[in-house]
Amino acid sequence: MVKWKRDLGLEGRMLLTMFLLAVVYLFFLVFLTFMNAPPLFMLLFIGVALGAQYYYSDRIVLWTMNAKVVSENEAPNLHQTITRLCAIADLPKPRIAVVNTQVPNAFATGKGPNSAVVAVTTGLMDRLNQGELEAVLAHELSHVKNRDMAILTIASFISTLAFYFVRYYLYFGAFGGNRRDSGGIMLVWIVSIAVWVASFLLIRALSRYREFAADRGSAIITGQPSNLTSALLKISDVMPRIPSDDLRKVEGMNAFFIIPAAVSGSFMNLFSTHPSTEKRIAALEKIQKELEL
């Protein structure tokens, strides 16, 4: 029988990702200081931005998705299901939110198990049976148990700072001196893009691995990997038929979703936040065999 155990691979990847990101951003700060950027402004900007992102990440994500936190009276079946799954997973019950959209998806956010929010869309609840819904909810609870939500939130957020610095540089002329007149503006732009690309690749690699870890967690919590396989197939099959406008509205949340809501041909498909559905199903089939032993 497969039992829950600490995923050292995931924990190691989270630590490595944050360490490498810290190295990348330290280099960027040193470089901008060399280019006459005001150090105090940069430190204050980063401190305030990261603090706000960490403490208000769940509210920001819920606001972005127009998600509504629902009470037990408003969604009794959803609350009962999550209460039971939390008991199995040894987790405190998170807040529960519903997003009114036909895009079938779910996500978890928050700083940790004691402040987590699990959200599902109406499109998901309309299309999945009870077993499949439980598997998806267990997947999201696995993200909570693995504590990978805050890491991804912070890492994703600070990867955008390079662009803010560039805009500050271009539009406000914040960096002075001869370096700007001698081509410094182009150098800052190039380095900023390099910083963003490095951050982007690190975050995507972590995001893909954490989905495998959450799939495994779902299989362990429910004891039915086949239900998650069925749910993934249903969501993947429905996604191409969702209107492009609806998908574009939520694409920015792809890293948090169980399956990315990507418009065909969009940039998000080039470096996916998720492993392919085929690879995820293959991993779940392997877990199914382990459970049968």
Q: What is the mean pLDDT of residues 155-164?
A: 57
Look at residue 198 in the predicted model and tell me its pLDDT: 73
How many angstroms separate the CA atoms of 208 and 214, rounded? 10
Confidence of residue 179 (pLDDT cuts 50, 70, 90): very low
Look at residue 164 in the predicted model and tell me its pLDDT: 56
Confidence of residue 82 (pLDDT cuts 50, 70, 90): very high
Confidence of residue 52 (pLDDT cuts 50, 70, 90): low
Residues 119 and 82 sit within 8 Å (Cβ to Cβ): no
- pLDDT, one tens digit per residue, over 144-159 is 999 887 777 666 655 5
Amino acid letter for position 153: T
Q: Which of 140, 251, 278, 292 is catalytic?
A: 140
Look at residue 266 in the predicted model and tell me its pLDDT: 47
How many angstroms separate the CA atoms of 18 and 33, rounded? 22
Q: What is the mean pLDDT of residues 27-31?
A: 68
C-alpha distance from residue 47 to each of 52, 222, 246 (Å): 8, 40, 34
- pLDDT, one tens digit per residue, over 207-263 is 888 899 999 999 999 999 999 999 999 999 988 888 877 777 777 677 778 888 764
Q: How far apart are the first and last CA of the chain?
A: 7
The beta strand positions in the chain, using DSSP E, are: 68-69, 95-99, 106-109, 117-121
How many angstroms separate the CA atoms of 231 and 140, rounded? 13
How many angstroms separate the CA atoms of 261 and 179, rounded? 43
Q: Identify the CA nearest to 205 among candidates 267, 156, 147, 257.
A: 156
140 is catalytic: yes
Look at residue 158 in the predicted model and tell me its pLDDT: 57
Confidence of residue 78 (pLDDT cuts 50, 70, 90): very high
52 CA to centre of own chain: 17
Look at residue 91 in the predicted model and tell me its pLDDT: 94
Domain boundaries, the chain: 8-292
Cβ-in-10-Å burial (0-12, 13-18, 19+) of 221 comes to: buried
Q: Give residue for tokens 């004891």.
A: 223
- pLDDT, one tens digit per residue, over 87-102 is 999 999 999 999 999 9
Query: Which structure tokens are listed for 204?
Result: 């995507």
